Chain A
Amino acid sequence: MKYLDEYRDGDQAHQFAREIHRITTRPWNIMEVCGGQTHAIVKFGIDELLPKFITLIHGPGCPVCVTPLEMIDKALELASRPDVIFTSFGDMLRVPGSTTDLLSVKATGGDVRIVYSPLDAVKIAEQNPAREVVFFGVGFETTAPATAMAIFQAAQKGLKNFSMLVSHVLVPPAIEALMSSPNCKVQGFLAAGHVCTVMGYEEYPPLAAKYHVPIVVTGFEPLDILHGVLMVVQQFESGRAEVENQYTRSVRREGNRPAQELIHKVFKVVARKWRGVGEIPQSGLGLNDPYAGFDAEKKFGLADHHVDEPADCLSGLVLQGQIKPHECPAFGTKCTPEHPLGATMVSSEGACAAYYRYRRQN
């Protein structure tokens, strides 16, 4: 496929790797923010092409992984109601809540439907006026234009039977939270190319300056990632800490303005709890007041509750880059993709699942 295959060329990947080897003089820690990048790195063995002392730390950029247990439990409660058609992206179905998961609810009679786009959920609401249709609004800034449009169109159509369980998260506050942690080992970032396609990268220069970290907006194919790593290492080795854009074929500095306008119309910035990390101020999106009628939590009166995460799951440390997945005692034994303890194992983009699939040492 055009714009995909040519960015997977092995010879050219090796060429980038050679250049990274040539210029690297000391150990460096780089965090790739996005789970999609983590998946590509482990799948294509990109980390194995790099000098041994360049460490790629896998960041918290998997919305499936960071959706808190409480929110999954709310989804399970809604999906179990006989009057509800619960719609969701496929990757949320196997994420364990505190007792079960959406797939099990579906197996025991819950009307849970996988949709490709949030607009499909709006369509289902139009076709089923006697039922309540709820969409599980999970995702980063990349997905927010789609969920915002679903709400906006539902409002325009005057749909009374559509609502959204909103669990949107934002990337820059998570980077800030990571960098301000005293245990943080990250010295530079590959920022997520598709998040920046939507939001641009004007939010990042203050972060680069405050923590003196290079931030390179990077794409998702092997050559993109290697190019991004090279650009970060070039900055390290010359003492720079700037924001640069590797993914220029998709990302403009200002991002996608029409998408941002609709996001800001429909959503407002709220505090959000991240699974394995805890609450991060101003790190999420919730529905703006004029659209509060579409808030499934309010509509169904879902109570806030607190659930402790399984004690032997170290996904929080994995998400913060403190340990590698295989350093967790539960990895591959108590915790597998079939029986995950934490969501870094359940989503294919989670660091644990990627290591289990591509790196399992038998």
Chain B
Amino acid sequence: MCLAIPGKVESISGDDPLTRMGKINFGGILKEASLAYVPEVKVGDYVIVHVGFALSRVDEEEAHKVFGYLKEMEELAELEDSDTEPPPRRDKP
């Protein structure tokens, strides 16, 4: 029910902020969505769309953070493997 999917804003029509509509590209399928709640959005931005409304602009920098975290974990694991000292104990509650 709360399914919302990311799509790319291909074009924008209308000047009234309440009725501004965007043509959104979802992997090749174009659909119209209201941009009333994302006044900052421009053509080329990605938005998260739910039942015909864009609810947020996808933050590109934040979108990569999950992968940055994984990379950090990998490097940490390598470091721990090559370290002769035992890793520091984690504090347990």
Interface residues of A (CB under 8 A from B): 1-4, 6-7, 12, 15-16, 19, 23, 25, 34-36, 61-64, 89, 91, 116-120, 138-140, 142-143, 145-146, 149, 152-153, 192, 194-195, 197-198, 220, 223-224, 227, 236-239, 246, 248-252, 256, 258-259, 262, 347, 349
User: B90 to A23, Cβ gap below 8 A?
Assistant: yes
Q: How far is the CA of A249 from the CA of B47 in the complex (A)?
A: 10
For B63, what are the chain A residues with a Cβ–Cβ distance below 8 Å?
3, 249
Contacts A120-B52, A139-B1, A259-B37 given: A248-B62 contact, CB under 8 Å? yes
User: A194 to B62, Cβ gap below 8 A?
Assistant: no
Interface size class of B (residues with CB under 8 A): 35 or more
Interface residues of B (CB under 8 A from A): 1-6, 8, 18-19, 26-27, 34, 36-39, 46, 48, 50-53, 55-56, 58-60, 62-63, 65-67, 69-70, 73-74, 90-93
User: A35 to B26, Cβ gap below 8 A?
Assistant: no
Q: How far is the CA of A249 from the CA of B55 in the complex (A)?
A: 12
Across chains A and B, the number of contacting residue pairs, with CB separation under 8 Å, is: 136
User: A142 to B4, Cβ gap below 8 A?
Assistant: yes
B69: contacting residue among A35, A227, A349, CB under 8 A: A227
A-B contact pairs, 7 of them (CB 8 A): A36-B1, A143-B51, A146-B50, A146-B53, A194-B48, A258-B36, A258-B37
Interface centre among B2, B8, B19, B60 (most CB of A within 10 A): B2
Besides A35-B2, A262-B37, 11 new A-B residue pairs in contact (Cβ under 8 A), listed by A number: A1-B27, A36-B3, A63-B1, A89-B51, A118-B52, A194-B50, A238-B90, A239-B93, A250-B56, A252-B56, A258-B39
User: A237 to B1, Cβ gap below 8 A?
Assistant: no
User: A119 to B34, Cβ gap below 8 A?
Assistant: yes
User: B70 to A249, Cβ gap below 8 A?
Assistant: no
Q: Residue on A with the closest CB to B74? A: A15
